[in-house]
């Protein structure tokens, strides 16, 4: 049985087209700065990079020599053509995130680097809680309004499932404050990050829903100066296309030194109590 689709791609494209007319790309700019900093820590010059992005205005020319690739379920990447693939804040909309990372792995040369940036589970937790409380109070139920976002441990496992070596997952968190929740919602539209879920309700929501959610938001999360915070967590997935030159874990029992010596402590056998 085919699993249900997460994303309405036509709606997502319409949202991104509207956003491009008056965009708010600050999260993409933060993500770009994060990528550039991490690349400076890698002792390597990348000569054939590719960036998967929906914000070409931000990423174009930012990674020297990079080919920009449109976000789609099937990426326009050639097998073995790149030594760096960056997936820049599009992976959270993928119906099959493991399959998307596999596509990137196939596009990498041996020992090529993959960097995937996507929103993590702490993102917009204030807005999600406020919408859920308001909708449950007004309608007695909930409808899908925010794209699901994984926890860092689960997202890191995607790298191993996709066959990448030396997998690492970590995250960076930004807290942004707004005058009202409506200013936050306006920014989300200007990022192209509105509700494009395939399972979203197509009917017009109750007139009072967002006003009620704004009241819940302010009551639950407002800071002493009356502003409301919004949390954005960006998870960074790092992995390498397998290559024989990469370090391998040592065979169990092959250690040449005792851990107790390194720690400057006495070694104790199993069951022996300290003292």
The whole model's pTM is what? 0.86
Task: Please report, for residues 12, 31, 97, 189, the alpha-carbon distance to residue 72 in angstroms, rounded to integers and kept in the order given.
Answer: 11, 20, 11, 20
Tell me the C-alpha distance between 19 and 23, whole Å. Answer: 5
**Exposed, middle or buried: residue 72 (CB in 10 Å: 0-12, 13-18, 19+)?**
middle
Q: In what order do the strands lie in the sheet with 228-240?
A: 67-70, 49-53, 82-88, 108-119, 228-240, 165-178
Q: What is the pLDDT along the chain (275 residues), one digit of tens a residue?
A: 556 788 999 999 999 999 999 999 999 999 999 999 999 999 899 999 999 999 999 999 999 999 999 999 999 999 999 999 999 999 999 999 999 999 999 999 999 999 999 999 999 999 999 999 999 998 888 888 888 888 998 999 999 999 999 999 999 999 999 999 999 999 999 999 999 998 888 887 788 999 999 999 999 999 999 999 999 999 999 999 998 988 776 566 656 666 667 666 766 665 555 55
In the chain, where the domains are located: 9-244
Identify the residue whose tokens are 């992995």.
Answer: 239
82-88 and 165-178 strand pairing: unpaired
155 Cβ neighbours under 8 A, 6+ residues apart = 118, 120, 169, 235, 237
User: Which superfamily does 9-244 belong to?
Assistant: Vaccinia Virus protein VP39 (3.40.50.150)
Note whether 88 and 117 are within 8 A (CB).
Answer: yes
Q: Strand, helix or coil at 110?
A: strand
Angle 125-139/209-221 helices, nearest 10 degrees? 130
């Amino acid at each position: 049985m085919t699993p249900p689709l997460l994303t309405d791609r036509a709606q997502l494209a319409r949202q991104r087209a509207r956003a491009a007319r008056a965009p708010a790309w600050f999260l993409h700019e933060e993500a770009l700065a994060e990528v550039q900093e991490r690349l400076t820590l890698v002792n390597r010059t990348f000569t054939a990079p590719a960036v998967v992005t929906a914000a070409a205005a931000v990423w174009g020319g930012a990674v020297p020599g990079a080919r920009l690739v449109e976000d789609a379920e099937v990426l326009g990447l050639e097998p073995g053509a790149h030594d760096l693939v960056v997936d820049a804040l599009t992976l959270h909309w993928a119906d099959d995130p493991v399959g998307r990372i596999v596509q990137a792995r196939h596009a990498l040369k041996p020992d090529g680097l993959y960097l995937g940036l996507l929103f993590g589970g702490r993102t917009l937790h204030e807005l999600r809680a406020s919408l859920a409380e308001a909708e449950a109070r007004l309608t007695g139920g909930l409808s899908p309004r925010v794209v699901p976002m994984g926890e860092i441990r689960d997202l890191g496992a995607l790298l191993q499932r996709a066959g990448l070596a030396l997998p690492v997952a970590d995250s960076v968190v930004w807290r942004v404050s707004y005058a009202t929740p409506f200013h936050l919602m306006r920014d989300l539209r200007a990022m192209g990050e509105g509700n494009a879920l395939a399972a979203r309700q197509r009917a017009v929501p109750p007139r009072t829903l967002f006003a009620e959610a704004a009241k819940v938001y302010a009551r639950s999360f407002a800071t002493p100066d009356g502003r409301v915070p919004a949390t954005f967590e960006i998870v960074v997935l790092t992995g390498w296309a397998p290559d024989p030159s990469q370090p391998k874990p040592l065979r169990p029992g092959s250690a040449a030194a005792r851990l107790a010596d390194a720690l400057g402590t006495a070694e104790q056998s199993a069951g022996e109590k300290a003292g």
